[in-house]
Structure 1
Amino acid sequence: MRAFAPVSVVIPTWRGAAWLPRCLEALSRQTCRPCEVVLIQNGGPALELSPPPELPLRFHRNPINLGFAAAVNQGIRMTQAPYVAVLNDDAFPEPEWLESLLEAMEAGPEIGSCASLMVFAHRPDIVQSAGIAIDRAAIAWDRLRGHPVAQAQAPAEVFGASAGAALYRRAMLEALKGFDGRFFAYLEDVDLAWRAQIAGWRCIYVPRARVHHLTSASLGEGAPLHRFLLGRNKVWLVVKNAPARDLPLVWLYDLLGVVYALVRRRDGWALRGRLVGLRGIRPFLAERRPGSPRVLSPLAPPWHVPRRWSLPPA
């Protein structure tokens, strides 16, 4: 057991006053504590915090909401430890979380990130995320979402780590220039994972690193802005990273997904997001560096895709 970890923790927050104290309290109980915790507040009234005294907390407040990705990048630049953990303000890690991630990270210099076992806070026996999975249609989802925790106990190499609770190697973040701040929120961790895969970095899923997560507490699961950002960022994700040979398959599945949202859910936000994404496509085309992920999940029939985002009963 280590009392001190060469890890900086970055926590972006927006409207998180209700659950942030629980997050900080959980961090203070880690079996090996981070060398520093940087809290980035994205707009709103200044938070009145009484953090645990043993937590080495630094605070930065942005006058406006810059989004998750830009706030995390700010925090990364403010820190210097060789490893950076990113944690949502509505995520509550168990005591061995950081120590478990660090042990997995130090197994090899080619490991660029480690993914946590994230469980639903209201149903801790159900997996919310066991890393990010992706298929040839560029559909990304939380691996093992909705499965019993008992089925998520095997460590594995995965496509990427959900940035809601992940550990990153600073060398990888610097080589890849961090998250793409233009994404604002959602799919920025998928974009980073894809670029990391192309560059040869590995991601390891660590089931001992368990985190209880409220899941989209700030915006709400399935809120219109959530769906809009997912639609817009999906376009940019594909343009930046998807190999040309997969593009017909990608756009076919994506078209079917938009039609499904319009017909079955009367939801036009996914289409609006994609239209805005297409209008802003030019800089992403200029930066296009495509490649196939080394870790791919099997392609599912289109009618099975919605099951990947199933929610546990309340």
Structure 2
Amino acid sequence: MKHASIAIVILNWNGEKLLPQFLPSVVAHSHLEGTKIIVADNGSTDGSMALIEEQFPQVIRLQLPKNYGFAEGYNQALKQIDAEYYILLNSDVEVTAGWLEPMISIMENDATVAAVQPKILSWHNKHDYEYGGAAGGFIDKLGYPFCRGRILNVIEKDEAQYNDEVNIFWASGACMAIRADLYHKAGGFDSDFWAHMEEIDLCWRLKNMDFQIRYTPLCQVYHLGGGSLPYNNPRKLFLNFRNNLFLLYKNCPPNRLLKVIFVRMLLDGVAAFKLLSEGNVNGFTSVIKAHWAFYANRNRLKTKRRKLKLIAPPRWHDEIICKSVIWKFYFQNKRTFTEVNS
């Protein structure tokens, strides 16, 4: 394999406690020639950058002037970084020996692959898949994201059941290798997402451009998860519900768009009242606010959809599972990717 230029880019926001715990593994296991490690600071107010200067002098520091959020923070950082490949890595990920080579090798040997995700396991329970990525991401026919190894909130144990290299629909932003030129050509992350599902949106655009997203089990990392916001946080619920609608409106092909949006909004309403029945008033409010934000942004979304059509028209893809994960989960009691996809 020729020596490609690789930039491992960790977006940091107030990570003073996380960096000493997770950055040492990145430094220890990232010696592939042509590799540099960069921590891009997203307007932190703690001492994380001073800590890096003192404890990790080999790591390049890139200071952003404010907190742009996850999506735009990466956009701002990556436009200042010259490399053939970017490795987007969360600050709460522990990597393992040899983690870079399989991902880079796939892209070096197959020009149709735009991005690669490794096996992502839980840092807390190292035999379990991790919620936000597991063994590669998919969506169902209504746009619900799930993973090989994680269906809704049910996590599978890693028993080598997903130890095959396959094309997936989306790669997790927790750990993703991506061609730098394609990241920029596709427009990068959508800054309006702020955080959550921006990687699904980007991967959908890349697939519309006739590139593949790949999963490899030949390298694995351990993700703490919930490092910035816990999974049941009202802000996270708002972003997930809103961004899912953004994602669908931007990327669904015309013959599916209205039906998918209509059904999803009905199901979101069911989810909102379920949260309310469980006493989660803040969760209920988050869903209502998410729908209001979707309506408020319709004109912006229409403009984005028109612009994306000029680059690559919205399309349906083989990796979109033409089943309802909600139906399979709640009515047929299917709890694993294999069962849902059968």
TM-score normalised by L of structure 1: 0.90
* Cα offsets for 1:14-55 (capped at 9, x unmatched): 232211123221111226346222212222234232469887
**Structure index of larger Rg:** 2
Q: Is 2:155 the partner of 1:138?
A: no
Give the partner amino acid of 1:232: R
1:271 correspondence with 2:276: no
Q: Which amino acid aligns with 1:176?
A: A
Alignment of structure 1 residues 12-23 onto 2, 5 Å: 12-23=11-22
C-alpha distance in structure 2 between counterparts of 1:249 and 1:284, whole Å: 16
What is residue 257 of structure 1 aligned with on the other side? Answer: 268
Cα distance change, pair 217–74 in 1 and its aligned pair in 2 (3 A): same
Q: Which residue matches 1:179? A: 189
Q: Look up the equivalent residue of 1:191 and give its one-letter code.
A: D
Q: Secondary structure at the match of 1:287?
A: helix
Cα distance in structure 2, aligned partners of 1:165 and 1:279 = 32
**1:300: how far off?**
2.5
Write the distance in 1 (CA, Å) between the matches of 2:181 and 2:54: 30
1:60-209 residue pairs with structure 2 within 5 A? 60-128=62-130, 129-145=134-150, 146-150=155-159, 151-209=161-219
Counterpart contact for 2:141–2:320, Cα < 8 Å? yes
CA contact (8 A) 2:186 2:206 kept: yes
What is the rounded CA distance, in whole Å, between the counterparts of 1:148 and 1:104 in structure 2?
A: 26
Partner SS state of residue 256, structure 1 = helix
Once superposed, what is the RMSD of the aligned Cα atoms? 2.5
* Distance in structure 2 (CA, Å) of the matches to 1:279 and 1:80: 37
Is the 2:141–2:324 contact (alpha carbons within 8 Å) kept by the matching residues of 1? no
Rounded Cα–Cα distance in structure 2 between residues aligned with 1:59 and 1:308:
46
TM superposition shift of 1:144: 1.7
Q: Does 1:286 align with 2:303?
A: yes
Q: Rate the CA distance shift 1:28–1:126 in 2: closer, same or farther, 3 A.
A: same
Partners of 1:72 and 1:18 in 2: how far apart? 21
Alpha-carbon deviation of 1:57? 2.0
Number of equivalences: 309
Q: Measure, in 2, the Cα distance between the counterparts of 1:305 and 1:271.
A: 24
Note if contact 2:165-2:217 (Cα within 8 Å) is conserved in structure 1: yes
Matches of 1:262 and 1:174 in 2, distance apart? 40
1:92-127 Cα offsets, whole Å, 9 max, x none, are: 111221112111221211110001111111111111
